[in-house]
Amino acid sequence: MRILYCHPLKENTARDCVAFVDVELNEDVRLYGLRLVRQPDGAHLIYAPQCGQRRAATFSTPMAKQLTELAVEALGAVGNDQR
């Protein structure tokens, strides 16, 4: 599992999408446009893209945690590259 691309966004409020990420789950499956959202307590959560009013996918708690950790790490790396 790895992050293919991380596109940071400008934050406006306590609960904002801070980046969109593309993820390769394995050599057979890639997901595009996952949202990394900063929560009011400062923690981050990852969400699958929407199809209309519904999410296109959901993740188990362990997978969501791993994806979130990878996305936060990628966001930090992108932030360091822009300095």
Q: Where are the domains of the chain?
A: 2-81
CA dist., res. 20 & res. 34, Å (int): 5
| pLDDT tens profile 18-43 | 999 999 999 999 999 999 999 888 89
| Cβ neighbourhood burial of 58 (10 Å; 0-12, 13-18, 19+) | exposed
CA dist., res. 63 & res. 31, Å (int): 13
Residue 42: the pLDDT is 86
pTM of the model: 0.84
Contact 22, 33 (CB under 8 A): yes
